[in-house]
Chain A
Amino acid sequence: LHGGDAPPDAERRVFTHESPDPVHASMFRLYERYSKEPQSRRSGNTVRSFRAVPGVLNGKDVFQFNLSTVPNSEVILLASLHFLHQRPRQRPWRFRRPRHSPGGPHPVPVRLLFYGSSQGSAFGKPLGNATVASFTKGSWQTADVTAAARHAQDIKEPLMAVEVDVGSMAVQGQQRSAQERPPLTELPYILVYADDTAIDEPNSVATTLQRYGPSPAGEGMANSASRIRRELHLQAHANHIPEVHFSNLKSQELWQNTYFPDKTKTGRKQLSGEGGAKPQVLSFDERTMKKARRR
C-alpha cells in the first residue's frame, strides 16, 4: 500500500494481453471492455469462463464443463459456447477469423446436444439442444447456450456435457483418436455472463478474492515469505528491528477473526484448553499497580 498526499500520477499498468489461448484472450478483451465501462450492467457484473474437458458420455465423445463454481446468487444472463471446427490441415492454425471467399469454406449447420453428466450414470440428463445455422470450417464458432446453462443451474447440475452432432463433419478434437487430446488452445470454452446479486453485500470482494489470509498457519510459507520480503529489506536498511512475527500474528488474527470465525474459535478453545485458561484482562500485582499509579 502506498499512502501519501501526492496527486495520482498518470502511470498505470496497461494490459496488452495477446495470448494464443483463446480463453485468456477473450477474458482480457472483456476485462478491457468492462474497465472502460464499469457502470454498464447490460452484460451483468460477472463473467465466468469454463474450459472443456474431453470425455465420453453415452458412448459418444463429448466436451464436459464443470459449472459448479457458479453460485446461486449469480443470475445467468447469457452463456456462449465457443468451439473450433476442423482445422484446415494445409495451413497453420491461427487465432483469427478467416476471410470468407467464394472458394473458401462452406457453411454447414451443426447441432449441439447438452446433457447433465454428474449423475454417475452412463446416460446424461438432457439439458436441451441448439443449432448453429451458419457454420464455417476452420474458425471459432459461437453458439448461444444460455437456456442449457440456466437449466443446469436450475436443476443444480454442476457438470454439463456438450455433444457436437455434425454428421459426417467433426469438431476439432472429436476427429482425433481417444488417446490424442486436442491442445489447450483448441479446446472449446463457455463464457457465462451473470449478474451477481450478492456483489453489493458487505465484504463481497473478500468473499470472492480473499482465499486464506495473508499468512496462513502451516501452509504457503513460501508465499508469506515473499509477501514480507520487501518490508524486511527496508527495515534492514533503516536498521530497525523487524517486527515481522508480531505483525504477521496480528494480521493473521485479524483475517481469521473477520473471515474464519468458526475455525479460529475452535482452534483457540483447543489452545486455551491445552495451555490452561487465561483471563481476558491483564492483571498485575499490587506493587506494580502502585508504581504505575505513582508514575
Chain B
Amino acid sequence: QWSEPRVCSRRYLRVDFADIGWSEWVLAPKSFDAYYCAGTCGFPIPKVARPSNHATIQSIVRAVGIVPGIPEPCCVPDKTSPLSVLFLDPDRNMVLKVYPGMAVETCAC
C-alpha cells in the first residue's frame, strides 16, 4: 500500500529525545508527537490537501507540460505548534524554553 501514491496529509511521528542523542540534557519531555507531512500533490490537487493558489497553478503548469522541469508542489507543514522543553545548559543550570514550530498541526501542498 505504500507504493501507491497517497495524497498529502499529516502522518504520525513520535520523536524520543533519546533517539537523537539529546536525552542527556533534555529533562522534559522525554518524547513528543512531532508528526510529519507526506504524500503527493499531483494534479488535480484535492481540497483535502489544502493547496495554496500557487500550488494549484504549479500543478496545472506541470500537468500541461509546456514548461519543462516543473516539479509537483511539495507537501509541507502548514500549521505548527510550539513545544516547551526543559533542559540543562552547559553549566548544568535548568533552562526552560518554548520552541516554536516543533510539531505539525496541519499539512498542505
Contacts and interface: CB of A to CB of B under 8 A. Distances in A.
B97 to A, nearest CB: 5
Contacts of A59: none
B contact face: mostly helix, strand, loop, or mixed: strand
A128 interface: no
A47 B13 CA distance: 28
Interface in B55-109: 81-87, 89-91, 93-100, 102
Given A3-B12, A31-B84, A49 B95 contact: yes
B94 A209 contact: no
A45 B15 contact: no
B11 A5 contact: yes
Interface stretch (A7-15, A93-101, A147-155, A234-242): A7-15
B90 A69 contact: yes
A50 interface: yes
A227 B93 contact: no
Contacts of B86: 27-28, 31
B36 interface: yes
Interface residues on B, range: 35 or more
Contacts of B33: 8
A224 B24 CA distance: 12
B26 interface: yes
Contact of A47 (B19, B24, B95): B95
B31 interface: yes
Contact of B99 (A68, A199, A215): A199
Contacts of B83: 38
Interface string B5-33: 00000011111101111101110111101
Contact of A51 (B13, B16, B93): B93
A259 interface: no
B96 A27 contact: yes
Contacts of A23: 94
A45 B82 CA distance: 10
A31 B28 CA distance: 8
B96 A47 contact: yes
14 contacts: A1-B15, A1-B20, A4-B12, A5-B11, A7-B12, A27-B96, A47-B96, A48-B93, A48-B94, A69-B90, A211-B25, A213-B21, A223-B24, A227-B19
